[in-house]
Amino acid sequence: MEFICVTLMIIIGITDSTADQFAVVGPVDLLLAVSGEDVILPCSLKPNISAVNMRVEWFRLDLKDSIVHLYEDHEDKNTNQLQSYRGRTEVFKDELQKGNTSLKLSRVKVSDEGLYKCFIQSKSRSDDITVDLRVEAVGSPPLITVDGFDGSGGLHLQCESKGWNPEPDLVWLDSEGVTLTSENIDAQRETDGFRVKHMITVYNRDSKYHCRVKLRHHMMETEIITSKQQRKDQRLKSEDQRIKSEDQRLKSEERRIKSEDQKLKSEDQRVKNVFTVCLFLVKSLLRKFAVNVTLDPHSAHPHLIVSDDGKQVRYEQQSRTVKDGDQKSNNKFNNRTCVLGNEGLTSGCFYYEVQVKGLSVWAVGVARESAERKGEICLNPENGYWMSGSRYGRYRASEGPSVPLTLSVDPQRVGVFVDYEEGRVSFYDVESMCHIYSFTDQSFNEKLYPVFGNIDFAPLIICDL
């Protein structure tokens, strides 16, 4: 019995070790495709075992970061696919079970020409083959133009054609079909194929000449007759053809620009929508910590007038009279035109908003309960003040020394957020929800109160949330 069990285990082990053995096979010769048509890049497993659970990766050997198509974990994963292949590749999902890992490439372009690697990987093995793809493209009919005369009466004829791949043969022929020698030959490879241009000089004014472009079994030909009137007509015809071609190019460019403009408008709208959602979420999050702040008139500088509801404070040139014996007057600011809020914080978070629209000089923030309020005090963290504000359009945070701030727009409404445990005081432009400044890594160990500064006759207003 033990012998039988051992034998079975050996057989099972051999089966498991051979079940995942395979080779990747593909075409031996070059693969030829025609521009604008679809092509299948062959690749398969031998023997024909299932590739459903394997990694099937196609990439270009001649390009960097060159993923053409990736199938893994039973699905296509083309996040890092080359942009030029987007929407043009697919593997045959129904054929993977039979070991067929070929790639279909739609609407072939000249730029698709190159070396492709088909890489197959299972849990215990991998193999690959290379497919050499060549793309054939038929270009435009040859265009003949008259390029002037030389000193000896020779007529310069130029023939040009573009969009071919590979490079075609261009020849000039006379009326008897005899090949003429081109004087200037120019061939350039462009994105959509080769552009070829040949020039000859002819002296027979009453004759016919042919420009022929040939690529394998494709051929195009244009002729020109060089009699005086016909030469004139041909020049006009060539010029008309050139103008039409240029007009077509301009119209195509106009369509492209309009399409790009539409894309940019759509993207701009999408960004605006995302920004609106983000703005709503940020405001909603901060306003969860909103507190109802009212002003403490007993702390206000004598030149500051606090409204009856405790929601507004403005500057008045004539100072208020402080009654003798008023013990609370000892808590007033007597030099800095500031006022505290009634509500204090010893833990957690709180948030409030202030309208500063139309104010020339203002400051908002928080202050430590024991912070000095008398004399020429510096309103900075060292003295228990964490504030930010504006003085005639110049924005600063009250660090020591103060930090100048650059804002793209003047805030109309400022939000102040305090996280006691994190030691953070942050300021925001509420309308754009742009971050203005943050004090971080501060140490709070006593009650914090909202603090406001104003030397403007217009009121600073605490907003209801």
Domains of the chain, by residue range, sit at 19-136, 143-226, 228-278, 297-462
pLDDT per residue as tens, the chain (465 positions)? 444 443 434 444 444 444 568 999 999 999 999 999 999 999 999 999 999 999 999 999 988 889 999 999 999 999 999 999 999 999 999 999 999 999 999 999 999 999 999 999 999 999 999 999 999 999 999 999 988 777 777 888 999 999 999 999 999 999 888 999 988 889 999 988 999 999 999 887 668 999 999 998 889 999 988 765 555 555 666 677 788 888 888 888 888 888 887 877 767 666 555 544 455 556 778 889 999 999 999 999 999 999 999 999 999 988 776 554 444 556 799 999 999 999 999 999 999 999 999 999 999 999 999 999 998 889 999 999 999 999 999 999 988 788 999 998 999 999 999 999 999 999 999 988 889 999 999 999 999 999 999 888 899 999 998
Per-residue model confidence (pLDDT) at position 137: 93
Give the integer Cα–Cα distance in Å for 56 and 71: 5
- pTM score: 0.44
Give the integer Cα–Cα distance in Å for 252 and 270: 27
Are 159 and 222 in contact by the 8 Å Cβ rule? The answer is yes
Give the integer Cα–Cα distance in Å for 194 and 359: 67
Which two three-digit tokens encode residue 31? Answer: 């693969």
CATH of domain 19-136: 2.60.40.10
CATH of 297-462, one of 3.90.1150.10, 3.40.50.300, 3.50.50.60, 2.60.120.920: 2.60.120.920
Instruction: Please write down the HEC assignment for all residues of the chain.
Output: CHHHHHHHHHHHHHHHHHHCCCEEECCCCCEEEECCCCEEECCEEECCCCCCCCEEEEEECCCCCCEEEEEECCEECCCCCCHHHCCCEEECHHHHHHCECCEEECCCCHHHCEEEEEEEECCCCEEEEEEEEEEEECCCCCEEEEEEECCCCCEEEEEEEEEEECCCEEEEECCCCCEECCCEEEEEEECCEEEEEEEEEECCCCCEEEEEEEECCEEEEEEEECCHHHHHHHHHHHHHHHHHHHHHHHHHHHHHHHHHHHHHHHHHHHHHHHHHHHHHHHHHHHHCCECCCCECHHHCCCCEEECCCCCEEEECCCCCCCCCCCHHHHHCCCCCCEEEECCCECCCEEEEEEECCCCCEEEEEEEECCCCCCCCCCCCHHHCEEEEEEECCEEEECCCCCEEECCCCCCCEEEEEEECCCCEEEEEECCCCEEEEEECCCCCCCCEEEEEEECCCCCEEECCC
Which two three-digit tokens encode residue 408? Answer: 């793209």
Question: What residues contact residue 372 under an 8 Å CB cut-off, 6+ apart?
Answer: 383, 384
Task: Name the residue with tokens 């309208």.
Answer: 355
Give the CATH architecture of domain 143-226.
Answer: Sandwich (2.60)
Topology agreement, domain 19-136 and domain 143-226: yes
CA triple 341-342-346, angle to 5 deg: 95
Please, which residues bridge with residue 155 across strands? 149, 202
